[in-house]
Structure 1
Amino acid sequence: MKDGKKITASREESTSYMNQTLPMRESFDLIQRDLMIGERMASFYFINGLNKDDDMLKLMDALLKIKKEDMPAGILQFMEMAIPYTEVELIEDFDQVLKNLFSGVTCLFVDGYEGAIAIDCRTYPARSVEEPDKDKSLRGSRDGFVETVVSNTAMIRRRIRSEHLVMEMQEVGDSSRTDIAICYMKDRVNKEILCDLRQKVLSIRTDDLRMNQQSLAECLMKRKWYNPFPKFKFTERPDTAAACLFEGKVVLLVDNSPSAMILPTSILDVIEEANDYYFPTLTRVYLKSARGLISFLTIFLTPVFLLLMQNLNWLPKMFAFVAVKDMINIPLIFQLLILEIAIDGLRLAALNTPSMLSTPLSVIAGLVMGEFSVKSGWFNSEVMLYMAFVAVANYTQPNFELGYALKFMRLQLLILTALFNWIGFLIGCIVVVCSICFNKTLSGWSYLHIRLN
């Protein structure tokens, strides 16, 4: 496909090349439409379902009315005089024709004209703009990104009416040819980071981005398997993306993905959510501090509880009530690990449960997991209480990856504490601190980097 073959003035040669390259007979959605324009043969190539039928009908109607004596000598004059449409471009090689065709652009070959005319009357199947389920806000706008990159850039442009807002379009993937928009404010962005990011995007050598945004993230930065903390911040809200652009950050939009990738980022950016932009400073600081405290507790609550139960003499008398009162039939470490897996099982079951059944099944699961599991002797009520807090506290994090990163840190703390007592707990704490402090983002900055604007 990337041979760079030039388009000649012969329509027969152009259509012959196109029909040999494309599976016209096998694929029902690849359409070739031949018609006479000014007593010259012409051929339209387009993909069924990706163009606007009304616009195509009006365009063909205008072209069929052209007479022989009205046909200009050059293709540029033909584009100016004969095609009543706004987005029209001249293409000189077949590689660009195929790229535009597969993107939904209609391509026109006219006998006697050297080149192809790309008419961008495409439309993509897309869902309506609505508020994201995961990234909700108590105040502010109720729109969210969709799977079409042009619609997403339009929602950002609507909020930032500035000549400094730049949206560069790049293409990644030899087969998928996925469109990627690099958005930034040229008067605020860090030029070094922007150049480095642009170079990394252009240097990606892959056949496809099969999982869109996640595939792009893996191509940009190879993840270290032993460090689960996220390298990027994602949002499905255009107002959050616009706010980050004003802060000098770079936003990546990937076609077919309903979220934006924001970088550079730090752990303070990751735990940030949309509500932080809509509340006064004092309220915003309190909410961020509360999320930070809860995140801290999700990591250390159950490991500290396990450590104290292994060393009851460390427990102050005023906190003696936290000790397990009932008989321990199953070691506490196994209770905690079983509940960790059980909670994830319930979460996965909730994702795959029909919405009409989710509420009754949640009630049944809560009763079985809560009351009967304690009465049966499998779990102690104190363990159930602390694991219930951890399960609910995970949902205070707007970032899904960060929630599981905290979970993995908690699991390694539990296992090390159970195996080596306080020495294991200390080693686990060092691992947690090192995982955060030595985690590098795409920009090369530390995960704890704070940028002051």
Structure 2
Amino acid sequence: MINSISKNIASNKRRLDAELIVDDNFDIINRKITIGEKECCLYFVDGFVKDEILEKLMEFFAHLKKEDVECTPEEFQDKLLPYGEVDLVDKMDTVITRILSGVTCLLVDGYEKVLVIDCRTYPARNVEEPDKDKVMRGARDGFVETLVSNTALIRRRIRNPNLIMQMMEVGSSSHTDIVVCYMKDRVEEKLLSNIIDKIKKIKIDALTMSQESLAECMYKGSWFNPFPKFRYTDRPDAVAASVLEGKVVIIVDNSPSVMILPATIFSIMEESADYYFPPITGTYLRLSRIIINIIALVLTPIFVLFMQHPDWIPKGLEFIRITDTINIPIIFQLLILEFVIDALKLAALNTPSMMTTPFSVVAAFILSDFAVSSGWFNSEVMLYMAFVAIANYSQVSYELSYALKFMRIFLLIITGLFSQWGFIVGILLTTCAIIFNRTVTGYNYIYPLIPFDFRVLMKHLFRVTLPASEKAGNQKF
């Protein structure tokens, strides 16, 4: 089918009505109007248009005379459309995509171009602090599902002409809008071209799961390694800081989570809260989080190892030995509780808000005295798993929390089967899973350890105040 726009408005209307199936869609409107004795037609999606702006435009058109509209499409756009966001399109498939995206299209008889008026508005919730990535002090705004609102939150923080918001589109059916955000004078050109090339090469029908679908399309490697390849955040301040460091940010329409690339193990473990306190407090919070996650990874496997070899328990720690009757092997108790904790998370996620408190009370009873008194679990096992469950929430990244959980379960099983040799092999394999992991763009996952960069490593481990000259420099990944 010919993709160009015809000068005959009747022909254009027939094609659009057929392509958009206007007769069957109540919300796709084709409004016939007359502008200066010229036959015209407006196409838009009901619910995506600012009614007051459309009303004012039609009122303005009604006062135009025949001699006013005897002009070219470019002159019509410049002189007769009193609105800021106006464009000309000469391809029919582009017009259809724009209409379905919420843009209003004006067809004028005798014009081989369609006037595109971007007066759309999307249903959106209010900007509020993210539920997961909260801070005790600092900004309380967070991204929403509307792309333009998210880019505005970043622009508000970086008022620099070098901040680039490059629009792209993915999905042959969904035509999902994607924005690649970066600082033109700070981003590494090789990194930027790598990311843009990956997005351009994506061939998919639709991004049904927003940024997760995009992530799976961008990374074609093996997903057996559970450590995350992307860093996600709902916070505009974290995104602004990352962009100023020279990183690339990908914003996907319909998603409140933003992807930051490249993502290393150190950058994923960072949190915004570290920077809203003085350096000594931020350093304490950061190091505490790292230490807590390491302890949560090895605590229960070491406990299993000590129960297998009680004579290895260090002097002064003999109290950790279980003296009560063990009805179920320790390894099975720990594995059962690992799954029970996830079951409670899923149940809490799907529990109506009015039932959250009663559910919490019932869960506390079941997993406390009743569980111990029934003989299923020993109190020491309950204590260690309680610490592990709490430690999981010290990490803002869901993906990293579950990666550590999978590694902990693997360590538990291999330690239970092969004792100390299983524990050593498990630790080595976990370390290798981190060291030999690669970012989506091919950088080292443990940078700045490999390649070694002392200054950047200190920045990741300690919350320090950098000189002004270092804050604006490119960061090597």
Question: Given the two structures, how large is their TM-score scaled by the length of structure 1?
Answer: 0.98
Aligned counterpart for 1:5 among listed residues 3, 10, 24: 3
**Residue in 1 that maps onto 2:123:** 125
Q: What do the CA deviations read for 1:341-382 (whole angstroms, capped 9, x no partner)?
A: 111111111111111221222122112211111111110000
Q: What do the CA deviations read for 1:286-341 (whole angstroms, capped 9, x no partner)?
A: 21111111110111000000001001121123111110010101111111111111
Distance 1:77 1:10 in 2: 19
The number of residue pairs the alignment matches comes to 451
**Residue in 2 that maps onto 1:16:** 14
**Residue in 1 that maps onto 2:252:** 254
Aligned counterpart for 1:198 among listed residues 182, 196, 218: 196
* Deviation for aligned residue 1:74: 1.0
Distance 1:425 1:79 in 2: 71
Matching residue's letter, 1:197:
I
Whether 2:81 is the aligned partner of 1:62: answer no
Distance change (3 Å), C-alpha of 1:125 and 1:4: farther
Distance change (3 Å), C-alpha of 1:325 and 1:80: same
**Residue in 1 that maps onto 2:93:** 95
**Residue in 1 that maps onto 2:351:** 353
Q: What do the CA deviations read for 1:406-447 (whole angstroms, capped 9, x no partner)?
A: 000000000001111111111111110011001100121121
Distance 1:33 1:302 in 2: 68
Whether 2:336 is the aligned partner of 1:331: answer no
Question: Given the two structures, how large is their TM-score scaled by the length of structure 2?
Answer: 0.93
Larger deviation, residues 415-424 vs 223-232:
223-232
Please, what is the CA RMSD of the aligned residues?
1.1
**Residue in 2 that maps onto 1:167:** 165
Q: How does 1:2-151 map to 2 (within 5 A)?
A: 5-151=3-149
Matching residue's letter, 1:222:
K
Distance 1:415 1:242 in 2: 42
Identity of aligned residues (%): 53
Structure 1 contact 436–448 (Cα < 8 Å) conserved? yes
Distance 1:70 1:314 in 2: 94
Distance 1:364 1:111 in 2: 70
**Residue in 1 that maps onto 2:374:** 376
* Deviation for aligned residue 1:66: 1.0
Moved over 3 A (4+): none
Structure 1 contact 4–93 (Cα < 8 Å) conserved? no
Whether 2:271 is the aligned partner of 1:273: answer yes
Q: What do the CA deviations read for 1:95-144 (whole angstroms, capped 9, x no partner)?
A: 11011111100001111112100000000000001111111111111110
Structure 1 contact 4–95 (Cα < 8 Å) conserved? no
**Residue in 1 that maps onto 2:312:** 314
Matching residue's letter, 2:33:
L
* Deviation for aligned residue 1:81: 2.1
* Deviation for aligned residue 1:69: 2.1
Q: What do the CA deviations read for 1:141-170 (whole angstroms, capped 9, x no partner)?
A: 111001011110011001000011111000
Matching residue's letter, 2:143:
F
Distance 1:151 1:247 in 2: 22
* Deviation for aligned residue 1:223: 5.0
Q: How does 1:277-292 map to 2 (within 5 A)?
A: 277-292=275-290
Distance 1:223 1:334 in 2: 33
Matching residue's letter, 1:204:
I
Matching residue's letter, 1:369:
L
Matching residue's letter, 2:348:
A
Matching residue's letter, 2:156:
R
* Deviation for aligned residue 1:4: 6.4
Distance change (3 Å), C-alpha of 1:120 and 1:4: farther
Distance change (3 Å), C-alpha of 1:223 and 1:373: farther
Matching residue's letter, 2:107:
F
* Deviation for aligned residue 1:224: 2.2
Distance 1:71 1:437 in 2: 67
**Residue in 2 that maps onto 1:436:** 434
Distance 1:222 1:256 in 2: 23
**Residue in 2 that maps onto 1:226:** 224
SS of 2:156 mapped into structure 1:
helix
Which runs of no fewer than 5 residues in structure 1 stay unpaired?
none
Larger deviation, residues 350-359 vs 50-59:
350-359
* Deviation for aligned residue 1:82: 1.6
Q: What do the CA deviations read for 1:214-235 (whole angstroms, capped 9, x no partner)?
A: 0000111125232111001111
Distance 1:69 1:289 in 2: 73
**Residue in 2 that maps onto 1:302:** 300
